[in-house]
Structure 1
Amino acid sequence: MRLFRLVSLNLNGIRSAANKGLLPWAESMQIDCMGVQELKAQAGDLEGRFEHIAGMAGHFHCAQKKGYSGVGLYTRHEPSEVRIGWGHPEFDDEGRYVELRFDRPGRKDRPRFSIVSCYFPSGSSSEERQQAKFRFLAAFHPFLVALKAEREFILVGDVNIAHQPVDLKNWRSNQKNSGFLPEERAWMTRALDELGLVDVHRRLRPHDTGEAYTWWSNRGQAWANNVGWRIDYQLATPGVAAAARQVAVYKDQRFSDHAPLTVDYDFRL
């Protein structure tokens, strides 16, 4: 049986990523579902060009502000339901959440299951945005608790948090910087330990260091010197995480300042 291939990628602009070769790469990868973040596009920009990629249909949550945020999920499998936004007006206006549900009521052997593409706020630009990030984290945890109580899911996306020192090159000098603050790292620990989500990459490759990075600053020679951060994740409920078989971070081409994170799962929708 062919494995189910799930990809997550922050595009840093879908038009920019397309100009850098995203579409032929996606065609070559035999992807079943791809979560994307930072579309930086409105619905009109997507029409006629990005509604379908590599045989997959796209479902999008665009930000009200032009050229900002936005997430999508591409799938070659028909969802039973599409949910846009997670019910928090401040962050739903920013286009940060899309969920595809694959419920099969006639199949008692199939649990209720969702795939989510989510783009967590960054706090690096200002203290105001850092406080917004804290508000997001505070509200999103109980939302995930409720979601996990009713269904299995995989959340893919740019979480904008490096969890442990192994997840970034210069951890000592970044302990007071957004993305590696103690409060942010504690949120991740709580999501994994208390909520019980599984960091699929770490489950499959617990000792990965530099090869696990998924984002590199555009400043200096971060890419050339592999001064990276692991801030893109696939977080799954335990039942789904147990089906994960292999993980890879693709670095042969650069479509944005992030690299695609691919996990193959041994299940069918």
Structure 2
Amino acid sequence: MNKGAFLPYFEAVGADVFCVQETKLQQGQIELPLGEEYQQIWNYAERKGYSGTAAFTRIPPLDVRYGLGDGIDPEGRVITLEFPSLYVVTVYTPNAKRDLSRLPYRLEWEDRFRAYLCALDGEKPVIACGDFNVAHQEIDIKNAKSNRGNSGFTDEERAKMTELLAAGFVDTFRALHPDVTDKYTWWSNMPGVRERNIGWRIDYFLVSHRLRDRILEARIDDHVPGSDHCPVVLEVEV
């Protein structure tokens, strides 16, 4: 917002549902002028300046849920919007930390998240989007060999994404662009890294397998500045 990048992009893309992760906000810290057309839904972390998610929707949801079905989400990582024909889930997956000290928690959280999505999928199709904090395959990261074992590219984290997809979900970008290289959604803030496109693809739209043939477009808007991440976009016929 302070860099003037958010609102022009938000208005230009005109999404029915727009999801944001790692908001790092508390209630009352920001007033987003999105107009009456959009309902704003926020999930704040208890810890100030940390984590958090949001969803802005111009389609009124039937229901809104926070967390993984238990109503407990102290880090504000998950919002689920229920619509007549599907669920939309925005997620900010926990980071394993550079020293991997949070990897055991991350892996346990992944199991609970997968179980939660599968339970939703048993009711109606699911669109899950956000920062999954993992580059799934070597094609999804610039320097695979030197990064193997690092946070976000450990064998364990990658295996959890494989398990999630095997449970009945589709990586929409790879479904449409199976062989496209050098398309990333996150770059380190170190000087020159983004300019040289030394990136990771860690932001995804996943959909229930039965929505696979309804995907119209899945793209990465890597031209959009203002963050160390860039937006990802999904168009799906529902």
- Distance verdict in 2 for CA 1:101–1:86, change over 3 Å: same
Structure 2 stretches lacking a partner, 5+ long? none
Cα distance, 1:192–1:54 mapped onto 2, change above 3 Å: farther
Where in structure 2 are the equivalents of 1:206-221 lying within 5 Å?
206-210=178-182, 212-221=183-192
Cα deviation 1:169-194 (Å, max 9, x = unaligned):
0000111101111111111111112x
Structure 1 portions without partners, runs of 5+: 1-16, 104-110
Identity %: 36
Partner of 2:32: 50
Distance 1:53 1:188 in 2: 36
The TM-score, its normalising length taken from structure 1, stands at 0.83
Output the TM-score relative to the length of structure 2: 0.93
| 2:121 corresponds to 1:140 | no
1:143 Cα deviation (Å)?
Answer: 1.8
Structure 1 counterpart of 2:232: 261
Q: Name the SS of the counterpart of 1:50 in structure 2.
A: coil
C-alpha distance 231-138 of structure 1, shift in aligned 2 (>3 A)? same
Mapped contact 1:96–1:120 kept (Cα < 8 A): yes
Q: For residues 30-83 of structure 1, give each alpha carbon's deviation from its aligned partner in whole angstroms, at most 9, with x where no partner exists.
A: 21111110111011113xx12736942211111000110000111111111111
Moved over 4 A (4+): none
Q: Is the 8 A contact 2:100 2:151 kept in 1?
A: no
Q: Please tell me whether residue 22 in structure 1 is matched to residue 13 in structure 2.
A: no
Q: Does 1:94 align with 2:75?
A: yes
Q: What are the equivalent positions in structure 2 for 1:77-156 lying under 5 Å apart? A: 77-87=59-69, 92-103=73-84, 111=85, 113-156=86-129
Q: Which moved more, 1:68-77 or 1:213-222?
A: 213-222
Query: Hey, what's the Cα distance between the residues in 1 that align with 2:212 and 2:56?
Result: 20
Contact 1:85–1:96 (Cα < 8 Å) also in 2: yes
- 2:177 maps to which residue? 205
> Partners of 1:51 and 1:61 in 2: how far apart?
18
Give the C-alpha shift of residue 209 in structure 1.
Answer: 1.1
Q: Secondary structure at the match of 1:239?
A: helix
Return the offset for 1:125. Answer: 3.6
Kindly tell me: are residues 124 and 241 of structure 1, through their superposed partners in 2, closer, same or farther at Cα, counting changes over 3 Å? same
Query: Shift in Å at residue 245 of structure 1?
Result: 1.0
Return the offset for 1:203: 0.6
**Matched letter for residue 150 of structure 2:** N
> One-letter code of the match for 1:100?
L
User: Larger relative contact order (C-alpha < 8 A, sep ≥ 6)?
Assistant: 1
Q: State yes or no: 1:72 paired with 2:54.
A: yes
The DSSP-based 3-state class of the residue aligned with 2:89 is: strand
